[in-house]
Structure 1
Amino acid sequence: MKTTTVQREYFLDSIRAWLMLLGIPFHISLIYSSHHWHVNSVAPSWWLTLFNDFIHAFRMQVFFVISGYFSYMLFLRYSRPKWWKVRVERVGIPMLTAIPLLTLPQFIMLQYVKGQADKWHTLSGYEKYNTLAWELISHLWFLLVLVVLTSIGLILFKNISGGIASGRVRWLQNITLGKLSIIFFFLGLVYALIRRTLFIVYSPILSDGLFNFIVMQTLFYAPFFILGALAFKHQNLKQLFILPSRGCTLGAAVAFAAYLANQRYGSGDAWMYETEYVITMVLGLWMVNVVFSLGYRVLNFQSARVTYFVNASLFIYLVHHPLTLFYGAYITPHITSNTLGFISGLVFVIGIALVLYEIHLRIPLLRFLFSGKPQNKRPDAVAQSK
C-alpha cells in the first residue's frame, strides 16, 4: 500500500461543498427562469434566468477539476484495487441509494403533476426504458460519470504516474494559462465535432439517457478531471489556478456573454449546442482560475461550521431535487412574486434538507448508504458545530 500524505486543502474542500450546494439555488431559479423544466412559474424572471445561466455555465467543470485532484491524491495513497473500490463505493452507493429513495418517488410525483400517469402504458418498451434512464438518474448523473471516470482513471492515472516518473511530461513545467486555453479550445472543437457527427449519422442516440450520461458527459468532463489530477502532482500547474489572473477573469466574462448570446440567438437545429460546448470548455477552464484564486484567499482555513457543510453537502444535494420539484409543483403557484418565491424556496428546501441530514446522522444504515463509507459514530464536525 502507498503511504503518500499531503496537507489538507481546506479551500478546495470548501469550494467543492459550495459548488455542490449551488445546485439548490440553481434548480430553484430554474423554476423561475425562461428555460423549460419539469415545473415552471407562470411568468419567467429575467434576473433569475441570468443567475441560472451563470451557475450552469461553469459549476460542473470546476467541480470535476476538484474531483480529479482529490481522486489522484487518493490514488497515490492506496493500492489500485483498493483505490477503485473506495472511490466507487463513495459515489456509487449514494447514487444507488438515491434512486429508490429519492428519484423514483420524484418520478412518480411528476407523472401526476404533469397528468401523464395514465399515458405510461401507451409507451413502447424503449420509451419506458429511456424515460426511466433520464428520470431515475436525474440529478445523480455526475455520480455515474464519476464512477466511469474512476474506472478509466485506473489506466489514466497509471499513465500520469508513469509519465511523471520517466520525465515524459516535462512540457507541463512550462505550461501557461494561454497554452491551456488553446488546448481546451481544441478539446471543445473535438467534442463538438463528435456530437455533430453523431447528430448526422444517428441523431436518436443523443436522446438516449444512458448514452448521454455514460459517453457524452464523460467525454466532456474527462479533460477537467485529468486537469485536476495533473494539478495535484505539478505545483506549477496548481499555482496557475490559485494566483489571480486578470486575463482569465476578463476571458470568463467575455465567454459568458458569448454563452448568453448563443442561448438567445442560437438554433437547436443548427450549431447551437456545439457552439455552447466549445464556449463552456474554455469558460470552465478560466473559471477554475477565478474560483480557485478567490477560494484560496477567503476559504483556506479550518472551521467546524465549514466542515459541517462540507460533510453535509452531498446529502443535501441528493435530497434537494425532489424537495425543489415538490416546492415548484405545489407551492410556487401560490406565490405571485418570483423573487419572493425564489427566496421562500431556498428557505423551504435548505431547511427541510438540514433536518433530514440531522435525522440521517442518527441512523447508521442511512449514514452508510448516503456516504458510501461505514461510520460507527457521527462525524466530529457535527459535535464541534453545536
Structure 2
Amino acid sequence: MKKNTSEREYFLDSIRAYLMLLGIPFHLSLIYSSHQWAVNSYTPSDTLTVLNDVIHAFRMQVFFVISGYFSYMLYERYESHRWLKVRLERVAIPLLTAFPLITIPQFFLLKNFTDRLQDWDNFNLYEKINVGIWELVSHLWFLLTLCILTCVSFFIFKKIKQIKKNRIPFPISRMTTLGKVSFYIFIFSLFYALLQRTILIIDPDLLFNSLFNFVVLQSLFYLPFFVIGAYAFKYEWLKQLFLKPSPYAFVGSLLLLIAYVANQHLNTKAYFSPELDTIITSLVGILMVNVVFSSGHYLLNSHSVRVTYLVNASLFVYLVHHPLTLIYGAFITPRICSNGLGFLLGLVFVFSIAFMLYEIHKRVPLLRFLFSGKPQH
C-alpha cells in the first residue's frame, strides 16, 4: 500500500537527467582524449582530455546520491517487498533488454570495425569470458550496480526506517557540517584504497576480473553515496547541508579536480595512482553534491515541460548513445581533421539520432515497457 510522501522535487529529477545526458559528451570527448578507448582520433586534444576527466571525476557519485534519495523516498511509500519488486523491475528490465538489443550488437561492432578486440582469436576461454562480460555490461554497469545496491538496501533501508528521528545513528549523527561529511567519506576512501592495494599485492589478476569489478568493487565504492542519499531524505538537516551553497565546497571541488587531472596524467601505479584516484574522486564527489544540488535547487526547482521530456528520455538516450558514439568514432571521426569540430559534430550526430530513436520507441508499447520497466496502460 502506498503512503503519503512529500511532493517530488523537480531539481533532483532535472539534475539526474542532465547527469545521464552528460554521458554523451563524456564518451565523445573520450574519443578525442589521450585516454586509450575503443576508438580514438589520430591526435588527442588536451582540452577535451581535461573535459573528459572533469566529467568522469564526479558525475556518478552525485548520481548515486540522488538514486539513494529517490530509492528511500519510494521505500517510505511502498511496503518493503512491493518496493523491491518495483525498483528491480525499473532497473533490471532495461538492463536485461539492453543486452540483446544494444551491447551484443555493439560487441560485434567492436570486434569487426575497431582494434578493441583484435586479439580475440588468441584469447583463452577465461580471457574470452572475462572480456566478453566487460564488453556486454559496458556502459550498463550503473544499472547493474543499481540492481545490487537495491538488493542490499532492502535490508539497509529497513534498519534506517526503524530509526527514530531523535536517535540518529553513528556516523550520520556526526555529519553536522559538510566538512564532517567529507571527513567520513575520506575515511571510507582510505579503507577502499587499502583494499585495492591489498588485492594488488595478493592477487593482482583479481583486479582485472570483470565480475569482481562490477559486482564487488563498483558496488562497494558507490554504496556510501547511495546510503547518504537515503539519509538525506530521512533527515532534512542533512539534505540542507547539500542545498546550502558553500564557497568552501566550490573551491575544494576545483582543487580536487585539478589534483584528479594531475594524478591521471602525471602519476603512475607505482606511486599509488589508483589509490589516490579513489580518495580524490570520493572527496570531489561528495563536495560536488553540494555544488550541483545548491545550483540545481536555485536554477532548476520548477516544473517545466522541456525538463520533464528530458527526464523521461534520459535513460533511453543514455542506453543507445554508446553504440552511436562508437559508430561515429569508427566511421566518421577519421574523416574529420579538427578535434573540436569532430566533437561538436559528434554531439549533433549522437543526440539527434538518440532522440529520434526515443520518439520511435515511445510509439511502441512493448519497447516503452522494456526500456523503462514500467507497465504500459
Q: TM-score, normalised by structure 2?
A: 0.97
Residue deviations 1:224-263 (CA, integer Å, cap 9, x gap):
0001000001110101111100110111111111111111
3-state SS, counterpart of residue 287 of structure 1: helix
Other-structure match for 1:384: none
Do the aligned partners of residues 285 and 118 (structure 1) sit closer, same or farther apart at CA in structure 2, a change above 3 Å counting?
A: closer
User: Per-residue deviation at 1:117?
Assistant: 6.9
User: Per-residue deviation at 1:158?
Assistant: 1.0
Other-structure match for 1:198: 199
3-state SS, counterpart of residue 164 of structure 1: coil
The one-letter amino acid of 1:110's match is: L
Other-structure match for 2:87: 87
Other-structure match for 1:35: 35
Other-structure match for 1:320: 321
Does the 8 Å contact 1:191/1:277 carry over to 2?
yes
> Where do 1:89-128 residues align within 5 Å?
89-114=89-114, 119-128=119-128
Does the 8 Å contact 1:172/1:237 carry over to 2?
no
> Where do 1:227-306 residues align within 5 Å?
227-306=228-307
Rounded to whole Å, the distance in 1 between the matches of 2:17 and 2:357 is 18
Residue deviations 1:18-47 (CA, integer Å, cap 9, x gap):
000000000000000011000000000111
> Where do 1:181-196 residues align within 5 Å?
181-196=182-197
Residue deviations 1:261-299 (CA, integer Å, cap 9, x gap):
111221124410011000110110000000000000000
The one-letter amino acid of 2:321's match is: H
Rounded to whole Å, the distance in 2 between the matches of 1:324 and 1:341 is 12
The one-letter amino acid of 1:155's match is: F
Does the 8 Å contact 2:10/2:300 carry over to 1?
yes
Other-structure match for 1:21: 21
Other-structure match for 1:346: 347
Rounded to whole Å, the distance in 1 between the matches of 2:7 and 2:231 is 17
Other-structure match for 2:147: 147
Rounded to whole Å, the distance in 2 between the matches of 1:174 and 1:227 is 10
Rounded to whole Å, the distance in 2 between the matches of 1:104 and 1:149 is 25
Rounded to whole Å, the distance in 2 between the matches of 1:279 and 1:373 is 37
The one-letter amino acid of 1:48's match is: L
User: Per-residue deviation at 1:118?
Assistant: 7.6
User: Per-residue deviation at 1:169?
Assistant: 2.8
Other-structure match for 1:7: 7
- Indicate whether 1:209 and 2:210 are aligned: yes
Over 4 Å off, 4+ runs: 115-119
The one-letter amino acid of 1:94's match is: P
The one-letter amino acid of 2:30's match is: L
The one-letter amino acid of 1:216's match is: L
User: Per-residue deviation at 1:163?
Assistant: 2.4
User: Per-residue deviation at 1:141?
Assistant: 0.1
Of all paired residues, the percent bearing the same amino acid is: 57
Rounded to whole Å, the distance in 2 between the matches of 1:123 and 1:348 is 34
Residue deviations 1:24-76 (CA, integer Å, cap 9, x gap):
00000000001100000000011100111110000000000000000000001
Do the aligned partners of residues 326 and 298 (structure 1) sit closer, same or farther apart at CA in structure 2, a change above 3 Å counting?
A: same
Query: Which runs of no fewer than 5 residues in structure 2 stay unpaired?
Result: none
Does the 8 Å contact 1:74/1:83 carry over to 2?
yes
Does the 8 Å contact 2:38/2:116 carry over to 1?
no
3-state SS, counterpart of residue 4 of structure 1: coil
Does the 8 Å contact 1:185/1:282 carry over to 2?
yes
Does the 8 Å contact 1:173/1:236 carry over to 2?
no
Does the 8 Å contact 2:69/2:230 carry over to 1?
yes
- Indicate whether 1:330 and 2:338 are aligned: no
User: Per-residue deviation at 1:4?
Assistant: 3.0
Does the 8 Å contact 1:2/1:79 carry over to 2?
yes
The one-letter amino acid of 1:150's match is: T
Rounded to whole Å, the distance in 1 between the matches of 2:82 and 2:219 is 23
Give the length in aligned residue pairs.
Answer: 376
